[in-house]
């Protein structure tokens, strides 16, 4: 059975079906009528991804099992595989996993009897991030065809760069990279442009954080980074009128982006986070359906009236 592990193995049709379902979840409230448990196993720090999975689960009525690496039996030497099997045995219906290894899924994917959702694999894959970036771009432009999307920053160490380049190319966009020479990755077959070219040509400029935790040595490119490679006030002024700025977060203000630009008119950074909830709801239900853990009739529109008033929708953030 198919887990949700990488963009590489997704077809354009599968991506579009997930984006459509996420849009449906954005418009109306749905919940599962069957009891479902999820385990969110995060072995790397996370604020947005972990919390938006939890909100996605709670909105659907899925019960999230608490897990904290610091207090878990992994501190006693238990492996990732045995931890995952434990959650399967005690009744988790879906496992959401983030781990620093690029290939953590290899030892699990043929041995688990519940679906696994990748919430981040080393520097290799971050497929739910790509879905939320794609839906944010679609909401803006209504199409991907011919859009110039430049991914800027620490390409070499970024799973967001890899997954997004694959997904946005599949969807019909022109993907480019830019960044300091130290942060380029020749094994990735996408054209590189300079930051100043990126500013002029991009419809979407996607900034990335320097992934210090994955650097083995000091990089001189990190010195005066904002001036050389970041989005400064001067550069922002030269962008196309309709161009938008994305960033997966966490933002290092004053490094990849001037602090005053984090919430500028072009920034969709907080909108990306809101969209993260809906795409994760879509991924979770799609996996539960595929594995036969729930069926279509287990997904119900919430009885969204109380005294004739619709229940409050999630805040819409720009
Ligand atoms: C990213 C990640 O963890 O890969 N953050 C996220 O999931 N929103 C990017 C990063 O850490 O720089």
User: Quick one: what percent of the chain has pLDDT higher than 90?
Assistant: 87
User: Annotation-wise, does 230 bind a ligand?
Assistant: no
Q: What kind of fold does domain 127-271 have according to CATH?
A: Rossmann fold (3.40.50)
CA atoms within 13 A on the CB side of 4: 32
Q: What is the pLDDT of residue 248?
A: 98
Q: What is the pLDDT of residue 1?
A: 63
Q: What is the pLDDT of residue 317?
A: 60
Query: Are 37 and 93 within 8 A, CB to CB?
Result: yes
Measured in Å, residue 129 CA sits from the centre of ligand 1 at 8
214 lines ligand 1 (CB under 6 A): no
- Whether 127-271 and 7-126+275-301 are alike in CATH topology: the answer is yes
List of residues 6+ apart from 218 with CB closer than 8 A: none
Whether the CA torsion 15, 179, 157, 49 is positive or negative: it is negative
Residues pairing with 245 in the sheet: 205, 267
Q: What is the pLDDT of residue 304?
A: 57
CA–CA separation, 40 vs 280, rounded Å?
Answer: 12
Higher pLDDT, 74 or 269: 269
Q: What kind of fold does domain 7-126+275-301 have according to CATH?
A: Rossmann fold (3.40.50)
Measured in Å, residue 250 CA sits from the centre of ligand 1 at 6
CA nearest 230: which of 142, 304, 154? Answer: 154
User: Annotation-wise, does 76 bind a ligand?
Assistant: yes
Q: What is the pLDDT of residue 220?
A: 81
Query: Are 262 and 269 within 8 A, CB to CB?
Result: yes
- Return the domain boundaries, the chain: 7-126+275-301, 127-271
Q: What is the pLDDT of residue 307?
A: 43
Per-residue pLDDT of 196-234, as tens digits, reads 999 999 999 999 999 999 998 888 888 899 999 999 999
130 lines ligand 1 (CB under 6 A): no
Ligand 1 atom with the shortest distance to the CA of 49:
7
- pTM, to two decimals: 0.94
Whether the CA torsion 78, 160, 95, 314 is positive or negative: it is positive
How many helices (H) and strands (E) are present in the chain, helices listed first? 9, 12
272 lines ligand 1 (CB under 6 A): no
């Amino acid at each position: 059975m198919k887990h949700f592990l990488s963009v590489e193995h997704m077809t354009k049709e599968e991506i579009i079906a997930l984006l459509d379902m996420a849009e449906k979840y954005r418009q109306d409230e749905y919940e599962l009528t069957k009891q479902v448990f999820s385990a969110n196993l995060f072995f790397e720090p996370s604020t947005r991804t972990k919390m938006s999975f939890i909100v996605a689960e709670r909105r659907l009525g899925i019960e999230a099992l608490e897990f904290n690496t610091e207090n878990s039996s992994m501190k006693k030497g238990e492996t990732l595989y045995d931890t995952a099997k434990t959650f399967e045995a005690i009744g988790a219906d879906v496992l959401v996993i983030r781990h620093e290894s690029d290939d953590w899924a290899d030892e699990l994917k043929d041995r688990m009897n519940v679906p696994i959702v990748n919430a981040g694999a080393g520097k290799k894959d971050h497929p739910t991030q790509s879905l939320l970036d794609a839906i944010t771009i679609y909401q803006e432009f209504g199409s991907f065809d011919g859009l110039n999307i430049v991914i800027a920053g620490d390409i070499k160490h970024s799973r967001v760069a890899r997954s997004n380049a694959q997904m946005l190319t599949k969807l019909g966009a022109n993907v480019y990279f830019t960044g300091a020479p130290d942060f380029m990755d020749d094994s990735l077959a996408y054209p590189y442009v300079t930051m100043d070219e990126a500013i002029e040509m991009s419809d979407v400029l996607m900034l990335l954080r320097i992934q210090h935790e994955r650097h083995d040595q000091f990089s001189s490119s990190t010195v005066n980074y904002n001036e050389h490679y970041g989005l400064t006030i001067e550069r922002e002024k030269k962008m196309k009128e309709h161009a938008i700025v994305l960033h997966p977060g966490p933002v290092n203000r004053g490094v990849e982006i001037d602090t005053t630009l984090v919430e500028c008119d072009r920034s969709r950074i907080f909108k990306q986070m809101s969209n993260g909830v809906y795409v994760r709801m879509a991924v979770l239900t799609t996996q539960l359906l595929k594995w036969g853990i729930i069926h279509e009739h287990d997904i119900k529109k919430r009885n969204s009236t109380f005294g004739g008033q619709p229940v409050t929708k999630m805040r819409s953030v720009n």
